[in-house]
Amino acid sequence: MNFIKYKNRRKATMLSLAIVSVVFAALVTGCYNNNTGETGILGIADLKFPAFPETGSHAVVIFSEMHYSPAYDDQEGPTIGPPSDSVPVTGREIQYTAEEYTLLRMSGKSTNSYEQSKAADIYRINCSVCHGESLQGDGSVAKYLTRGAAPANLIGGSSADATEGEIFAWISYGSRTGFALEMAGQPNPTVMPTFNKLLTEEERWHLVKYIMAKQNR
Ligand code: HEC
């Protein structure tokens, strides 16, 4: 648009207003395609404006995860958890004695569902920060764990000749020390999380199989 032609400022202002009105009319009359930004003005002109494609239930999603937050409405109390003595529909995990854990074997179901790549993911997400990608206790946070034992070497340490049931118990109760304390009915302050509260029984067995595969057993 060549504004120099319009020496009179009022004329230029009028023209700007006209353009804004046309754009507004085009948007209001529904000739604007929000997926492509193409806008047809009464068959006279075809323009291209910024596109705002729909990405969810709203045209522009700002915090997408907030759509799925467990919101509750007015007059509605917070969700009530299950009673403390209720049993999950999947059944409660059996608590064995220390000797029984030593003899415990992986179930056929867990053996059949084992996939090395999935187990590697579970390990990477839950264990590698401490035990390292190499499983040798050299994870990125290991040097900051200055109180208590350092993350164990899962290739060459006690795990190397432990039974599969023992490794399962150590993972479940947050290390060998944690397992011994829990079996003795004492509080368990180990830095390694108690994974029987965080991972399913099957996921913990898959980790046992993964660790043993890395030990070439
Ligand atoms: C926050 C750090 C941390 C994380 C995360 C962690 N561990 Fe540990 N783990 C430790 C420490 C520390 C020890 C040694 C504790 C001790 O001996 O008192 C240990 C010990 C163990 C042992 C016993 C080995 C031995 O020789 O005593 C096993 C098996 C083990 N971890 C497996 C795992 C697995 C599998 C995961 C992931 C599901 C995991 N750990 C996640 C810190 C961690």
Q: What range does the domain containing 45 cover?
A: 3-61
| Inside any domain, residue 22 | yes
Query: What pLDDT does 22 receive?
Result: 67
- Core vs surface per residue 140-161: b (16+ CB within 10 A) or e: eeeeeeeeeeebbbbbeeebee
In a domain, 27, yes or no: yes
> In this structure, which residue's CA is closest to atom 41 in ligand 1?
127
The pTM of the full predicted model, rounded to 2 decimals, is: 0.69
Q: Has residue 52 got a pLDDT over 70?
A: no
Residue 203 alpha carbon to ligand 1 centre in Å: 15
Residue 213 CB–ligand 1 contact under 6 Å: no
Same domain, 107 and 207: yes
Residue 77 counted as domain residue = no
Q: Is residue 153 part of a domain?
A: yes
Q: Quick check: is 92 in a domain?
A: no
Q: Is the pLDDT of residue 198 over 80?
A: yes
Of all protein residues, whose CA lies closest to atom 10 belonging to ligand 1? Answer: 151
What CATH number is attached to the domain comprising 163?
Answer: 1.10.760.10
Q: Are residues 43 and 109 in the same domain?
A: no
**Higher-pLDDT residue of 90, 106:** 106
Residue pLDDT, tens place only, 149-179: 999 999 999 999 999 999 999 999 999 999 9
